[in-house]
Amino acid sequence: MLDTMYHSYMLIDGEQVQALSGRVDVIYNPASQEPVGEVPVGSRQDARLALQAARRAFPAWSETSCQKRAEILHEAADLVRERTDRIARLLTQEQGKPLKNARAEVRSSADMLDYYAEEGKRNFGEWMASGQSRSIVLKQPVGVAALITPWNFPVDLLAWKVAPALAAGCTFVAKPPSKAPIAATEFVKTLIDAGLPPGAANVVHGPGSEVGAELVQSPISRKIAFTGETKTGRWIMAHAAGQIKRISLELGGQSPFIVCQDADLEKAASACTQRAFSNMGQICISVNRIYAAEEIADQFTAKLLEHTQRLRIGNGLEPDVDLGPMFSEAQREKTREHVADALAKGASLLCGGREPEGRAFEKGFFYLPTVLDNVDHSMRIMREETFGPVAPIMRFKTLEEAIALANDTEFGLAAYLFTRDLKTAIFASERLEAGGIGVNVNNVVDIQAPFGGWKQSGIGRELGHDGLEAYLETKHIRLGFEM
Ligand code: NDP
C-alpha cells in the first residue's frame, strides 16, 4: 500500500480536475483489498466538457507539423521511462499484476509513443497524373477520437490508441476502466508535461454506461477506438451506427494452441504455460484451448504440469512473483464456474482448481493456475472466454481435425501452432480463422505489425501502419488545369 492514499484526477483542457459533482470512488488493491487511491467519478456532463476541449484543440493540432508532433511524443516517451517505477507501482496496486510485468507494460507504452512519433511522418498520400487533371490523395486526421479501454492492460492498451491518434493529428478523450484508472491517467499526464497543447489529450473517469456512452453518442467524437468485451463492442457498434462513426473494436478471444506430433515439446510447454497463465489468464490473446496430437499428448501434458507447478503466486509487489491475484471477485467466480462445469461434464483436474491456502491469500482474489485434461466442446471453458488461469487440454488425431476444432468458435483473435514442419505451419496458418497466428511463438503482438480480430473478436487493426490509418480519412482532390 502507498504511504498515503493516492488522489487521482481527470484531465480536461490541460488541467487536472475533479468531477463536477465532486463524487469520488475508492480503488482497492485486488491482492489485499486495501485502498490504493481515490478517483473522481465523472458524468455525461464532464465527458461533454472534455469533448468540447478536444474539439477546440483539434484545428491547431491537426495542422501542427509531423516533426513537431514527433518531438512531443518522443519527449513524453522519455518522461514515461523516467516515471516507470512510480507508474508501475500504481498499476500493480490497482490491477494486481506482478511489478516486473507492470514495468514491462509501462516501458512498452513508451515504445508505442516513440514508434508512432516516427510512423506519423510516413503519412504519405498519393499523386496521380491523368491527361489535363491531377489527382491528389490526402490522408487527413479523422477528428476527435474517443478511446475506451479495459482493466487488464490499462496503460498499454491506451497507449496503442493515444500514440497513433496524436501522431495522425487527432485530439482525444480517453475513458480508462473505472476500477483501474490511476496508472493510465499518469501515462496521459506525461503528454501534457511534454508540451502537448491544452485540450489535445483529455481523460474522463466514470461508469462506462454513462461516460463511455456519452463519448460514443456525442456528435463531437468522430472515431471510437475500443478494447473490451464483445458484448460492450456490440453496444458501441449499434450506437455508433446512428452517426456512421469510424470504429475500431478489439474484443474478446478464445485462442487455440495446437501442439503437433513433431513439435519441440519443451518449447511448446514453456510457451503455452506462459501464455495461459500470464496476467492470470486475463489477456485477450491468452491460450484458452489446447489441442495436442494424441501421440505426444501425455508427454506434453507432463511438461505443461511441470512448468505450471513452478509458477510462484503472491502479492504483485513481492519480488520474484510470477502471478498476482485475479482482478476481481467476479473474474474469479467466472473461472470457478467454468472449472466446475468442465469437471461436472467429465474433465479431469490435473492441478489447481482452487484458491491457494495461507494467510497471505486470505483477502485477495487469488486462484491457482489450473490444468484440465479430457475436455471437449460441450464445456463452457472451450466455448466462452474464461479470462482466468485455466489451461484445458483436448487430444486430436489429424491436423484437419485440430484446425476444425480451433475454428469452432465465434471468436478469432489469435491462434498458436507448434510444429517443426514448414508445410504444416503454412497449411494450418492459412486455414486458422484468426487475425494473428503464432507459429512456434506464444505472442502475436509486434509493434510494427497489424493486430486485431476476425469474426466476433473485432473490427479494424491497431499497431503498425494500419494503427495510424485507423485515425485517418482519405480525401481525393481532383485538380483540372485546362483553362
Ligand atoms: P468491458 O467491455 O466491460 O469494459 C471496457 C471499457 O468499456 C471500460 O472502460 C468500461 O467502463 C467501458 N464501457 C462499459 N460499457 C460501456 C458503454 N456502454 N459504452 C462505452 N464504454 C463502455 O471490458 P472489461 O473491462 O471487462 O475488459 C475485459 C474484456 O476486454 C475481455 O473480454 C477481453 O477479451 C477484452 N480485451 C480485448 C482485447 C483485444 O485486443 N481484443 C485486449 C484486452 C482485453 P467501466 O470500466 O466503467 O465499466
**Per-residue pLDDT reduced to its tens digit, 84-126:** 999 999 999 999 999 999 999 999 999 999 999 999 999 999 9
Please, which residues have CB within 8 angstroms of residue 153's CB and are 6 or more apart in sequence? 105, 279, 283
Ligand 1, atom 28: nearest CA belongs to which residue? 228
**What is the reported pLDDT for 3?**
52
Task: Give the nearest ligand 1 atom to 253 CA.
Answer: 34
Ligand 1, atom 15: nearest CA belongs to which residue? 208
**What is the reported pLDDT for 2?**
47
Integer Cα distance of 116 and 44 in angstroms: 31
Integer Cα distance of 58 and 142 in angstroms: 10
**What is the reported pLDDT for 5?**
85
Any idea which residues carry the catalytic annotation?
Answer: 250, 284
The residue with cell 490508441 is 161
CA distances from 345 to 262, 321, 375, 377 (A): 31, 33, 8, 10
The residue with cell 505450471 is 308
Ligand 1, atom 31: nearest CA belongs to which residue? 229
- Phi first, then psi, for residue 270 (nearest 5°) are -65, -45
CA 228 to ligand 1 centroid distance, Å = 3
How many Cβ atoms sit within 10 Å of the Cβ of residue 38?
17
Task: Give the nearest ligand 1 atom to 176 CA.
Answer: 9
CA 120 to ligand 1 centroid distance, Å = 27
CA 226 to ligand 1 centroid distance, Å = 8
**What is the reported pLDDT for 482?**
75
CA 227 to ligand 1 centroid distance, Å = 6
Residues of the chain with CATH 3.40.309.10: 255-446
161 grid coordinates: 490508441
CA distances from 331 to 135, 225, 305, 352 (A): 53, 24, 23, 16
Q: How confident is the model at residue 4 (pLDDT cuts 50, 70, 90)?
A: confident
Task: Give the nearest ligand 1 atom to 151 CA.
Answer: 25
Mean pLDDT value across residues 262-287:
98
DSSP β-ladder status, 370-373 and 171-175? unpaired
For residue 426, count CB atoms less than 10 angstroms from its CB and return exposed for 0-12, middle for 13-18, buried for 19 or more: exposed
CA 49 to ligand 1 centroid distance, Å = 23
Residues of the chain with CATH 3.40.605.10: 6-251+457-476
**What is the reported pLDDT for 9?**
98
**What is the reported pLDDT for 1?**
45
- Asked if residue 394 has pLDDT above 70, the reply is yes
Helices and strands (H, E) in the chain, number of each type = 14, 23
> Model confidence over 137-166: pLDDT tens digits?
999 999 999 999 999 999 999 999 999 999
For residue 207, the one-letter residue type is P
Ligand 1, atom 45: nearest CA belongs to which residue? 208
Which of 95, 152, 224, when mutated, tests ligand 1's pocket best, judged by the most ligand atoms within 8 Å of its CB?
152
Task: Give the nearest ligand 1 atom to 215 CA.
Answer: 20
- Asked if residue 71 has pLDDT above 70, the reply is yes
> CA 166 from chain center: how many Å?
19
Task: Give the nearest ligand 1 atom to 413 CA.
Answer: 41
The helix (run of H) or strand (run of E) holding residue 267 is: helix 265-277
Fold of 255-446: Aldehyde Dehydrogenase; Chain A, domain 2 (3.40.309)
> Model confidence over 326-381: pLDDT tens digits?
999 999 999 999 999 999 999 999 999 999 999 999 999 999 999 999 999 999 99
Ligand 1, atom 43: nearest CA belongs to which residue? 284
Cα-trace Rg, the chain: 23
Mean pLDDT value across residues 190-203:
98
Ligand 1, atom 39: nearest CA belongs to which residue? 250
Pocket of ligand 1 (CB under 6 A): 148-152, 157, 175, 177-178, 207-209, 212-213, 216, 227-229, 232, 235-236, 250-253, 284, 385, 387, 413, 453, 457-458
> Model confidence over 215-231: pLDDT tens digits?
999 999 999 999 999 99
CA 150 to ligand 1 centroid distance, Å = 4
Integer Cα distance of 260 and 319 in angstroms: 36
How many Cβ atoms sit within 10 Å of the Cβ of residue 168?
27
The helix (run of H) or strand (run of E) holding residue 426 is: helix 422-431
- CATH class of this structure's domain 6-251+457-476: alpha beta
